[in-house]
Amino acid sequence: MAILVLAEHDNRTLHPATLNAVAAAQRIGGDVHLLVAGHGAGAVAGAAARVSGVARVLHADAPQLADALAENLAAQVLAVAGRYGHILAPATATGKNVLPRVAATLDVAQISEIVAVLDADTFQRPIYAGNALATVRSADAVKVATVRMTAFDPVAPEGGHASVESIPAAADAGLSRFVSRETTRLERPELTSARIVVSGGRGLGSGGNFAELLEPLADKLGAALGASRAAVDAGYVPNDYQIGQTGKIVAPQLYIAVGISGAIQHLAGMKDAKVIVAINKDPEAPIFSVADYGLVGDLFTLVPELVAALG
């Protein structure tokens, strides 16, 4: 049976997390179909059709699908669910919001944030903030799962030639209404897909220091900026910078943790980075137990030195 992947998008561009979810779907084996549900999202459907390994794109277009409201988006997935043995979505805020609603209506369990596909019924997923890995098997007729994007290398965004099939939009459930959106302005690479991440914690001391010290370093490296929960709660940066169990999960090539102690909650969000660098004045900080390279010292002198040394 074919596999349905719910495409993540903002009606203009296809979110790269979709490519990681398609990669997970390919591990299961079978035709991969992408569902693009939105409003005025023709360009997204076009981009979806070019994704390597996608056999078909289902495109539903209606005003009630514009803002990915859970009730309407779940109804759209359910409208086509009968054709599929697996339904996947990237474990983004949208995927996490919508897919359990789909699963419950189908009376099946959901497997959250899979990090490996062992076979069509068996998956691996982290539990206890990533301190254990559970291998679970589903006996349900339909497997519904969200995919942790950092665990699967993305498929190529180009090279596919899928057909685009327009499908009728599910009716507006009329239960919820989109009001407004407040987007954090990003002038840097996006956190979850960045090759290098520079991340700051409570050690920075203030939002001003965060900008003054870490931004030049991030600019020099072409890196995304992240933060620990402590830095977010202290108001240094907005909460969508937060990396950890309850924030974003990143797995960049290089992760530089500045003034971050390394609580379990934070480590859950970044310990799959290829190389971890820790800069902290406390030699006992738990971050040093996962760091490949550690510098013990004052971040207020070490970070500017690092910026200078990078030339």
- Give the residue numbers of the binding site for FAD: 202, 228-229, 242-246, 259-266, 280
For residues 270-289, which are near other proteins according to CB under 8 A? 271, 274-277, 283, 288-289
Cβ burial of 281 (10 Å; 0-12, 13-18, 19+) is: middle
Pairing of strands 143-147, 275-280: unpaired
Per-residue binding letters, 51-90, with other proteins (x by CB under 8 A): ----------------x-xxx--x----------------
Q: Which of 18, 20, 52, 112 binds other proteins (CB under 8 A)?
A: 112
For the residues of 159-173, what is the DSSP string, one character each? S---EEEE-PPPPP-
Cβ distance to other proteins smaller for residue 166 or 246? 246
Spatial distance between the Cα atoms of 56 and 75, rounded to a whole number of angstroms: 20
Cβ neighbours for 288, distance < 8 A, ≥ 6 positions apart: 262, 278, 280, 294, 296
Spatial distance between the Cα atoms of 286 and 99, rounded to a whole number of angstroms: 35
Spatial distance between the Cα atoms of 87 and 307, rounded to a whole number of angstroms: 45
Cβ distance to other proteins smaller for residue 158 or 175? 175
Cβ distance to other proteins smaller for residue 176 or 206? 176
Cβ distance to other proteins smaller for residue 158 or 182? 182
Asked if 135 is part of the footprint of other proteins (rule: CB under 8 A), the reply reads yes
Q: Which of 62, 120, 167, 173 binds other proteins (CB under 8 A)?
A: 173
Cβ distance to other proteins smaller for residue 200 or 244? 244
Tokens of 266: 């934070």
Cβ distance to other proteins smaller for residue 158 or 183? 183
For residues 291-310, which are near other proteins according to CB under 8 A? 291-296, 302, 305-306, 309-310
CB 209 within 8 A of CB 235: no
Pairing of strands 122-127, 54-61: unpaired
| Number of other CB atoms surrounding residue 113 within 10 Å | 22
Query: In 236-251, which positions are buried (b, 16+ CB within 10 angstroms) versus exposed (e)?
Result: bbeeebbbbbebbbbb
For residues 146-165, which are near other proteins according to CB under 8 A? none
Min dist. Cβ of residue 30 to other proteins (A): 21
Q: Which of 13, 163, 166, 176 binds other proteins (CB under 8 A)?
A: 176
Per-residue binding letters, 221-260, with other proteins (x by CB under 8 A): x-------x---x----xxx----xx-x----xx------
Asked if 175 is part of the footprint of other proteins (rule: CB under 8 A), the reply reads yes
